């Protein structure tokens, strides 16, 4: 990862790369991804949120080439769409043109999850402190991303806000830091937090309401090749007005909770079962109900500062 950061490109140079045949080539975690798009919103989102990501050298093999297109024929001028393409495939139906950057983020999620066969992949936010990993696993709507953003802005290293990638052989967590996906009210909550949060383009009226992304801290991006030993698994559950209640969770229950949030667990067969078993062995598990970030962040930091 020796190249200059994306922020070294002028806006016109960024645009030129995005429309060139080779695309804009960025190091994202351990992968080099080529991005092509004529959507101004994609350029804006990249300039804002990916400023610290390194440009790949010309002779580096590109792992994945993706494109966010505008649609066919006249449509691209009259009423542009956001069309995600990978290797000539279109895994998703098009979205409206003003959701182009969100489409890029979701498309990249799909690309990374579909190709990382070396990992057990769990739908979870992952952060690191003092060399130890915290996995926040929960279904959508649990406040996981907001909490993840809150911790990242307090100096935890962000590994991912969506994907815990657990090495099948070494059991370590692979960082794949990307912008943190926020929706609706949590956008304003995070914007108001200390730590100078930078928020990218807003996509309104998606199936989830308004979606925007938080820029990952620079150190998270720069340390993206350093893997992390998993240490804690927390299942957060936001309930408006609730008191904070953090409780230990048994390993069998932790196992089942993680299985229900694991993408490729079924496909990995007994290998996945064993990898999950090792992960659970390595971690202390907790459930955490909370009504505000002010309660839960100190509670988690207290758990995570106890000696192993």
Partner 1 sequence: MSLDSCWTLPHAPLVSILHWEDGCVLYDALKTSTTLLSPLAGQVIERLRDGAADTATLAALPDAPDTESLAALLDDLAEHGLIRRKD
Partner 2 sequence: MNRRTDRHLANTLAQPGITADFNARDWEALIGQARTSDLLGQLAEVLRDAGDAVSVPEPVRFHLDAALRIAALHRQSLQLELAVIASALAVLGEPVVLLKGGAYAVAGLRAGRSRLFGDIDLMVAKASLDPAEGALFRRGWRPTHLNAYDQRYYRQWMHELPPIEHFTRGTVIDLHHTIVPPTSGHIPDPARLIADARPVQVAHCPDIFRVLSPVDMVMHSACHLFYGELQKGLRDLYDLHCLIGEFSVEEGFWAHLLPQARAHQLEYPVLLALRFARRVFGTAVPEAIAEECDRRLGRRWTGALTDHLIDASMYALHPSSDSTWRRARRHILYARSHWLRMPLHLLIPHLAYKAFIHDEARVG
The residues of the shown chain that bind partner 1, judged by CB under 8 A, are: 250-253, 255-256, 259, 265-266, 269-270, 273-274, 277, 280
Which listed option, partner 1, partner 2, none, makes contact with residue 194 (CB within 5 to 8 Å by class)? none
SS3 215: coil
User: Is the CB of 57 or the CB of 281 nearer to partner 1?
Assistant: 281
Which of 65, 174, 235, 288 touches partner 2 by CB under 8 A?
Answer: 65
Judged by beta carbon, residue 177 or residue 230, the one nearer partner 1 is: 230
* Binding to partner 2 in span 121-140, by CB under 8 A: 123, 139-140
Question: Does 206 help bind partner 2 (rule: CB under 8 A)?
Answer: yes
d(CA 54, CA 213): 19
268-276 contacts: CB < 8 A, separation 24 or more? 268/120, 268/168, 271/168, 272/120, 275/120, 275/166, 275/168, 275/171, 276/120
Q: Does 204 bind partner 2 (CB under 8 A)?
A: no
Measured CA to CA, the distance from residue 307 to residue 298 in angstroms comes to 16
Applying the rule CB under 8 A, the residues between 14 and 53 that interact with partner 2 are: 32
The listed partner (partner 1, partner 2, none) that binds 146, CB under 5 to 8 Å by sort, is none
Q: Are the C-beta atoms of residues 215 and 197 closer than 8 Å to each other?
A: yes
Q: Is 118 in the site for partner 2 (CB under 8 A)?
A: yes
| Short-list 125, 233, 134, 138, CA closest to 176 | 125
User: Which letter, b or e, does each residue of 96-126 get, where b requires 16 or more Cβ atoms within 10 Å of its Cβ?
Assistant: ebbbbbbbbbbbbbebbbeebeebbbbbbbb
Residues in contact with partner 2 by CB under 8 A are: 32, 58-63, 65, 69, 72, 85, 87-93, 95, 102, 106, 109-110, 113-118, 123, 139-140, 162-163, 206-208, 211, 261, 263-264, 266-269, 271
């Amino acid at each position: 990862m020796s190249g200059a950061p994306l922020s070294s490109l002028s806006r016109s140079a960024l645009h030129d790369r995005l429309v060139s045949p080779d695309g804009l080539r960025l190091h994202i975690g351990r992968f080099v991804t080529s991005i092509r798009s004529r959507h101004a919103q994609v350029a804006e989102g990249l300039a804002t949120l990916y400023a610290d990501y390194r440009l790949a050298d010309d002779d580096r093999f590109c792992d994945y080439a993706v494109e966010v297109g505008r649609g066919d024929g006249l449509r691209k001028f009259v009423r542009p769409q956001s069309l995600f393409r990978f290797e000539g495939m279109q895994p998703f139906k098009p979205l409206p043109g003003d959701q182009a950057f969100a489409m890029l983020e979701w498309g990249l999620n799909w690309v990374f999850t579909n190709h990382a066969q070396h990992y057990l992949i769990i739908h979870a936010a992952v952060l690191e402190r003092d060399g130890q990993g915290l996995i926040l696993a929960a279904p959508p709507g649990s406040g996981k991303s907001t909490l993840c953003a809150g911790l990242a802005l307090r100096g935890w290293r962000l590994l991912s806000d969506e994907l815990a990638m657990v090495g099948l052989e070494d059991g370590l967590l692979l960082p794949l830091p990307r912008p943190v996906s926020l929706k609706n009210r949590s956008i304003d909550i995070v914007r108001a937090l200390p730590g100078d949060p930078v928020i990218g383009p807003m996509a309104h009226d998606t199936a989830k309401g308004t979606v925007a992304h938080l820029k990952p801290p620079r150190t998270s991006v720069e340390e993206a090749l350093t893997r992390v030993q998993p240490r804690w698994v927390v299942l957060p559950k936001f309930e408006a007005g609730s008191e904070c209640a953090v409780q230990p969770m048994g390993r069998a229950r932790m196992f089942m909770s993680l299985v229900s949030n694991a993408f490729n667990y079924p496909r990995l067969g007994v290998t996945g079962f064993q990898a999950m078993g090792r992960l659970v062995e390595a971690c202390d598990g907790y459930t955490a109900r909370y009504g505000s970030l002010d309660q839960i962040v100190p509670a988690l930091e207290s758990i995570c500062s106890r000696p192993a």
